[in-house]
Structure 1
């Protein structure tokens, strides 16, 4: 990742004669505009090109025929893997002990730090300027976030969760979770993460697919409502939002009642759940959002078991929860719920560079228009994550999180697959490079 050390200030610049995509749900584009970015990395001017006087000393970039759009936001990432098929299943006690010893030893920590930095670079080069991690092995992403924030290295804005919060033997345990058996213990685990500097938290309301050993575990209730409420209270007091892994109607309901701010994956909804998404009195901001993560679910049911190397149990669990995820995603769109975009990067066939594919899946499987999907990945995500005051749209005073594209994403989402220029908080990534994984791309092309 390119180092920012030694640069006294960002170079101010202007993108001239660009067509600006707003990121609004109606896909509005304003033509022949100039966007001026100051040395602090914020947007300090935007007007028709004929009406703008670019200050002397600003680098002028001719964007004629290009579209300038807000940077993408990916609200559900893991930085410990690249998206190649994972070896699913929890493994036996000896295997778990060996893996845990490696992860928390000096070699493992160094690897995880390097892997996190490489993953963040891949996300940024693909046009993602803000991410939230939701389940880290330790606090390696917190450290990376701090280096980015202090301009020691270039990367996306990061909301880092640290380990997720689960129950003994539950989803994520033991590799990427702290576990608890009571509301008091859950509160202490939340406090531990907060003391380590996280600015996001995640609870496991239900079981998951990747570490399920029996049919029906995925979606089965795990952390109880009282424990999740204790986590939310602790987090909200610190101004930190809470996500919940939830893959059943029962799990989603309990998590929303507890006050979580976003539901990850989701399931079929009833009227009570829809109302709680819209008006959630225990959430930090009075509503809750949904990230259906279709990128993580659909490959597990659309690609052959032989190609994925998964068991009959994993396939059956996947089919059960993915059906609910699809139903929930469509219901959310129809009900006007704040449905954002998160891909679950690092999971099987979910690369760090394919965020745009989640938008395409929302169009193909949840009834979205391209403009609505792009809106979800920018403005909706920014609001759901509580960063809409600084990013998610192109407006005066906001950070310059921008993409320069060959076309309008509100008309053709595929233009997001290869941005010509990525700008993160005013730092440009010239000629962003995306190293694709051929075997994964081949499998994704099958559906």
Structure 2
């Protein structure tokens, strides 16, 4: 089990608590349960005199990325996005996933939600929870895809069908796959209500599953206490997700005014994944001409529509779709700054999207994304005040990252 000597109290540091600025405060933390050293919670947040030790620094909650894909080549390769998982054994994949997770941790991200998980991510999540490896906490959602659906189309057609990820066709099979994921350790379920961009031979306009199948997936997941995240690029995909009663929408690239109002009424968060769709549309990452053209058409009207949606109250939260190929683990702060530019947000609203609002989107609002008594001891100490100037949201400004009460990146200033 990993243990690092770490202070358990910071006195006189400037604190932003996930909602607003507290000013100079003393923040203390300790074990969540006696004798359990793998986690820690905040035990005190009280006003204090400012300390010269923290001059020019501030403390904010650890970031929460609600949409990532941990399994991919972490060795810096720019090609092989589709083929690498097919030629790399799971025992090796988990090490690459850990490398990605640790890069995110160094960038101030203390919680990751993987939205296409299987036994590799489930195993990694358990190892993190047991304190065996140092990484952000990992929430792993199992994918329920149909044959020929968005999830299934990441495997090239010439590959032996026995190497494909499980799919579900028909109501009973959909329920069974949800149960299988739950038994394996999933903390949620991912579905697709439209096609996608990076899946080979796919098209955003394709229907994925019938209404009866989607209803069965959502019903079964909710019966097992699992949240459902819906991948949806198109307006029709968003409508299907809304009607089905999912818990979050991923991408929502063709969100329009009427749908935005429905999303607000339903109280659904959206992870807009701006950087990856920008990169695909611009061709600044390795993609096919067809993928670039499809993405460019999708994002052509996205930014003004998203800004209007933000103005009517759509709850956009941090979700990068980081996979190591097209968006790096460590790009989360850059995604937040891009969100601020597109939505016309204040720096404080930007920061909430990556902390308290993102935590609420994954059902962890009392535990994560905040600096408060009883919440997880997950913090980022950095130069500047990011709630006043979003430019301070920069990995280069990070002084130290504390996760589960331990310093896991950088170092705290000497007392």
TM bucket (normalised to shorter chain) is 0.7 to 0.9
Contact 2:234/2:255 (8 A) holds in 1: no
The 4+ residue runs of structure 1 with deviation greater than 6 A are none
Residue in structure 1 matching 2:121, options 125, 138, 141: 141
Contact 2:255/2:302 (8 A) holds in 1: no
Match runs of 1:294-443 below 5 Å:
294-302=274-282, 305=283, 308-323=285-300, 325-346=302-323, 348-416=325-393, 417-418=395-396, 419-431=398-410
Match runs of 1:76-87 below 5 Å:
76-81=67-72, 82=74, 85-87=78-80
Partner in structure 2 of residue 244 of structure 1: 230
Partner in structure 2 of residue 179 of structure 1: 167
Partner in structure 1 of residue 55 of structure 2: 64
Q: State the Cα distance separating 1:84 from its structure 2 match.
A: 5.6
Partner in structure 2 of residue 56 of structure 1: none
Q: State the Cα distance separating 1:313 from its structure 2 match.
A: 0.9
Contact 1:84/1:351 (8 A) holds in 2: no
State the Cα deviation string for residues 177-233 of structure 1 (Å, max 9, x = none). 53222222211111111110100211111111112437xx12432223322221111
Q: State the Cα distance separating 1:275 from its structure 2 match.
A: 4.4
Q: State the Cα distance separating 1:13 from its structure 2 match.
A: 1.3
Q: Distance in 2 between matches of 1:87 and 1:218?
A: 22
Q: Which runs of 5+ in 1 are unaligned?
A: 52-59, 91-95, 281-286, 433-447
Q: State the Cα distance separating 1:326 from its structure 2 match.
A: 3.1
Partner in structure 1 of residue 132 of structure 2: 152
Using structure 1 for the length normalisation, give the TM-score: 0.81
Q: Distance in 2 between matches of 1:289 and 1:13?
A: 34
Contact 1:332/1:339 (8 A) holds in 2: no
Partner in structure 2 of residue 123 of structure 1: 104
Partner in structure 1 of residue 30 of structure 2: 38
Q: Distance in 2 between matches of 1:279 and 1:395?
A: 29
Q: Distance in 2 between matches of 1:359 and 1:413?
A: 8
Q: Distance in 2 between matches of 1:276 and 1:250?
A: 13
Q: State the Cα distance separating 1:12 from its structure 2 match.
A: 5.4
**RMSD in angstroms over aligned alpha carbons?**
2.6
Q: Distance in 2 between matches of 1:206 and 1:349?
A: 21
Secondary structure in 2 matching 1:268: coil
Contact 1:269/1:331 (8 A) holds in 2: no
Secondary structure in 2 matching 1:166: coil
Q: Which runs of 5+ in 2 are unaligned?
A: 33-39, 156-163
Q: State the Cα distance separating 1:271 from its structure 2 match.
A: 5.8
Secondary structure in 1 matching 2:231: strand
Partner in structure 2 of residue 436 of structure 1: none
Secondary structure in 2 matching 1:169: coil
Partner in structure 1 of residue 8 of structure 2: 13
Using structure 2 for the length normalisation, give the TM-score: 0.87
Partner in structure 2 of residue 49 of structure 1: 48
Q: Distance in 2 between matches of 1:369 and 1:247?
A: 26
Secondary structure in 2 matching 1:420: strand
Distance 1:274 1:261, change over 3 A: same
Q: Distance in 2 between matches of 1:32 and 1:62?
A: 12
Partner in structure 2 of residue 231 of structure 1: 217
Distance 1:71 1:135, change over 3 A: same
Task: Note if 1:211 corresponds to 2:203.
Answer: no
